[in-house]
Amino acid sequence: MPLTDKIILITGGTGSFGTALTRVLLDEYNPRAIRIYSRGELLQDEMARRFNDGRLRFLIGDVRDRDRLRRAMSGVDVVVHAAAIKQIPTAEYNPSEAVFTNINGAINVIDAALDTGVGKVMAIQTDKNCYPVNLYGATKLVAEKLFIQANVYTGARKQIFSCVRYGNVIGSRGSVIPLFLQQGASGKVTVTDEHMTRFWLTLEQGVRFVIDCLERMRGGEIFVPKIPSMKVVDIANAVAPEADVEIIGLRAGEKLHEMLISEEESAHTLEFDDYFVITPEFAFWGDGYREQGDSSGGVPMERGRYGSDNNEWWLTKDELRGLLGQ
């Protein structure tokens, strides 16, 4: 397995995604070491106690600190960049801080990886950076562009950069589901718009998709999984069926529907059985996926956008309850 006996660094490694990724890697891929790079010493201590595994290394550091990143990446084979300011209201209220972490932090991760010879770098992105309407989405869009374009700097070195772009993770920190569960106890849940839709996947699905993409990446791709949509009001009814639903209107920077692939991107996107690959438009790209008749199995995507409102796959209330273990 390509990840076996590798040294892997995860930025934002104490978050929901980083913790789940660490568990799967330790249990199934036998890495030589996993370096957890994050700012929170308490979360690192809790994670160390939970796993109690000698292959884990905990490094206090911020992605804003390029020198610390260089030291942390020394000898690393694979980097998964998951650190970000993710809360939309937080980014709107603290715009400079969102830029410093999400954009400048991306530059620092790229520079440190290039300087230390990291072989593979995968950045975790979001549906909110496709036609962004808020600062969080805008910063993640810039970060995504930076990671894809980083491939022009590798030259003859065996270093590649790619991204994964997916939707909301069921039950993760900041997810609306824990909020609905909490509100449900009071007898009323708040939904911004009755027509609002979102893409959904489980944390386990997100982690395994990232691992699969780490193994198949050639550099410069944006990997997009095929995942179901669901109306937010249906989610509220599913997790808090006894509660009343109050419609409160769209918040600042909030979309009615999300998009994972724009119509413009569809022109250079390949479709596979359970995922898409948005191929880059730059000169560094080799033959790879674009060569018709190759062994990749992908076919050109039909022109059009892939949005949470025009999706062909919809999650039912019972299916959501099953995923939540209710």
pLDDT of residue 290: 53
pLDDT of residue 293: 41
Interatomic CA distance for residues 27 and 20, integer angstroms: 11
Interatomic CA distance for residues 302 and 266, integer angstroms: 7
pLDDT in tens, 296-307: 678 999 999 999
Do residues 49 and 239 make contact, with C-beta atoms less than 8 angstroms apart? no
Architecture of domain 7-167+200-227+259-307 in this structure: 3-Layer(aba) Sandwich (3.40)
What is the token pair recorded at 65?
């600190």
Instruction: Find the length of the chain.
Output: 326
Do residues 65 and 73 make contact, with C-beta atoms less than 8 angstroms apart? no
Q: Given the structure tokens 């006996």, which residue do they identify? A: 5
Every domain of the chain and the residues it spans: 7-167+200-227+259-307
Do residues 166 and 199 make contact, with C-beta atoms less than 8 angstroms apart? yes
CA-CA-CA-CA torsion for 208, 214, 216, 220, nearest 10 degrees?
130
Tell me if residue 6 is catalytic. Answer: no
Do residues 167 and 199 make contact, with C-beta atoms less than 8 angstroms apart? yes
Q: How many C-beta neighbours within 10 Å does residue 297 have?
A: 10
CA-CA-CA-CA torsion for 313, 315, 318, 323, nearest 10 degrees?
110
Q: If pLDDT is split at 50, 70 and 90, which confidence band does 287 have?
A: low
Interatomic CA distance for residues 124 and 81, integer angstroms: 6
Q: What is the mean pLDDT of the chain?
A: 92
pLDDT of residue 286: 63
Interatomic CA distance for residues 250 and 246, integer angstroms: 12
All residues at 6 or more sequence positions from 106 whose CB lies less than 8 Å from its CB, including other chains: 63, 81, 123, 142, 143, 146, 147
DSSP bridge partners of 193: none
pLDDT in tens, 51-77: 999 999 999 999 999 999 999 999 999
| Residue 42 phi, psi dihedral angles, 5° rounding | -65, -45
Ordered DSSP codes for 13-75:
TTSHHHHHHHHHHHHHT--SEEEEEES-HHHHHHHHHHH--TTEEEEE--TT-HHHHHHHHTT
pLDDT at 271 over 90: yes
| List 86, 128, 140, 255, catalytic entry | 128
* Neighbouring C-alpha atoms within 13 Å toward the C-beta of 259: 17
All residues at 6 or more sequence positions from 14 whose CB lies less than 8 Å from its CB, including other chains: 36, 38, 40, 43, 44, 46, 47
- Burial class from Cβ neighbours inside 10 Å (0-12, 13-18, 19+) for residue 319 reads middle
pLDDT of residue 292: 43
- Burial class from Cβ neighbours inside 10 Å (0-12, 13-18, 19+) for residue 68 reads middle
Query: What pairing do the DSSP bridges indicate for beta strands 299-300 and 269-271?
Result: antiparallel
Interatomic CA distance for residues 61 and 68, integer angstroms: 6
pLDDT in tens, 97-143: 999 999 999 999 999 999 999 999 999 999 999 999 999 999 999 99
Span 152-157, average pLDDT: 85
What is the token pair recorded at 198?
């979102």
pLDDT of residue 171: 67
3-state secondary structure 17-29: HHHHHHHHHHHHC
CA-CA-CA-CA torsion for 176, 101, 71, 125, nearest 10 degrees?
50
